[in-house]
Amino acid sequence: MPSMKDLQGRDRPTWCPGCGDHGVLNAVKLAMVNYNIEPHQLLIVTGIGCGSKLPQYMWVNGLHTLHGRDIPIATGAKLANHKLYVMTVSGDGNTYGMGLSHLLHAARRNINITSVVQNNQVYGLTKGQYSPTSEAGTVTKTSPPPAGAIEQPVRPLALALIAGATFVARGFAKDPRYLSDLIGKALLHRGYALIDVLQPCVTFNRVNTYDWYSERVYKVEEQPGGYDPTDFAAALEKAQEWGERIPIGILYQVERPTYEDHLPAIQEHSLVELGVHRDMAELERIKQEFM
Ligand SMILES: Cc1ncc(C[n+]2csc(CCOP(=O)(O)OP(=O)(O)O)c2C)c(N)n1
Ligand code: SF4
Ligand SMILES: [Mg+2]
């Protein structure tokens, strides 16, 4: 079992003091400790943004890729070595803007990867423009007053559910222990898992602060009468609840065959175990067939 010290990165985070990303980093490490996931067993693929720098600040396999393209690259990595835990970690702009179509296809395929999304409702790295999850009316440099943002926000958990995700959850960066449990369970889950994380950006989002979220969040499993995470209709209702009350926890979890389950070529071995094809004469013969 790795310790928190084993997972310590060489670089110190450059995030602003108080940024919710510090809590997410802690939660990822805690999940690895508590769920016994060694650094060599996990690949974290990220896009571009403040949150996407996360694997640089810990000891793990990390692949920092292109804006919005972390999910297809994670999909390729998973198919090449389906014995690896593969997780994407990126912001709301990256994942629910440019990367949204990839999320929907990963969900319908039920590829066995996990996406953790640091949702701070702004583009943090590029200095605070409004993002796909900014509420209508949000005033930023790119959504000026009096109207502010004129679009309705994306409701990512509802979209993931409709698209076919088999694990849909929300965490809060202020509670890394609770979030780590969601991450650990998502990694062990067989199928596509989305965890939306309420992640305050203390520099550019002065509305959705730690206090703003703390006054609203509640854990679904603690609500009167309990909660059944296999009930799709209930999950869809919770996924759209936003404003006065914001649910966190596992909103939905069911079993369905994964994308990899349907691929005969990787049932016995992962592709990386098969090695490089070295029969040059055979390769030449195949080439000639296409000449
Ligand atoms: C193709 C492309 N378009 C735009 C950008 C500029 N860009 C870099 S980060 C970013 C938004 C980041 O926002 P988010 O994903 O929410 O991450 P945060 O910084 O808030 O963690 C944008 C638009 C880019 N790097 N590449
Ligand atoms: S700009 Fe916002 S999201 Fe980026 S490091 Fe600072 S507080 Fe965090
Ligand atoms: Mg963001």
All domains of the chain, ordered by start, with CATH? 20-264 (3.40.50.970)
**Cα of 287 to ligand 2 centre, how many Å?**
52
Beta strands 122-123; 129-130: pairing state: antiparallel
pLDDT at position 278? 74
pLDDT at position 276? 73
Q: Is the CB–ligand 2 distance for residue 204 below 6 Å?
A: yes
Q: Tell me the average pLDDT across 68-85.
A: 97
pLDDT at position 8? 96
Q: Tell me the average pLDDT across 34-43.
A: 98
Burial class (CB in 10 A: 0-12, 13-18, 19+), 10: exposed
Residue 280: band (very low, low, confident or very high) from pLDDT cuts 50, 70, 90: confident
**Cα of 36 to ligand 1 centre, how many Å?**
32
pLDDT at position 279? 83
Q: Whose CA is nearest to atom 5 of ligand 2?
A: 15
Q: Tell me the average pLDDT across 153-177.
A: 98
Residue 290: band (very low, low, confident or very high) from pLDDT cuts 50, 70, 90: very high
Report whether pLDDT(283) > 90.
Answer: no
Q: Tell me the average pLDDT across 131-148.
A: 97
For the CA of 127, the nearest atom of ligand 2:
1
The pLDDT tens digits of the residues spanning 230-243 come to: 999 999 999 999 99
Two tokens, residue 154: 């994306």
**Cα of 34 to ligand 1 centre, how many Å?**
31
Q: Tell me the average pLDDT across 211-218.
A: 98
CB 116 within 8 A of CB 26: no
Q: Is the CB–ligand 1 distance for residue 118 below 6 Å?
A: yes
Q: Is the CB–ligand 2 distance for residue 15 below 6 Å?
A: yes
Q: Whose CA is nearest to atom 11 of ligand 1?
A: 123
> Among residues of the chain, what percentage have pLDDT more than 90?
94
The pLDDT tens digits of the residues spanning 17-37 come to: 999 999 999 999 999 999 999
Q: Tell me the average pLDDT across 211-230.
A: 97
Q: Whose CA is nearest to atom 3 of ligand 1?
A: 67
**C-alpha pair distances (Å), 235 with each of 95, 97, 148:** 21, 23, 30
d(CA 3, CA 5): 5
Of the residues 65, 123, 134, 154, which should be mutated to test ligand 1's pocket, given the most ligand atoms within 8 Å of the CB? 123
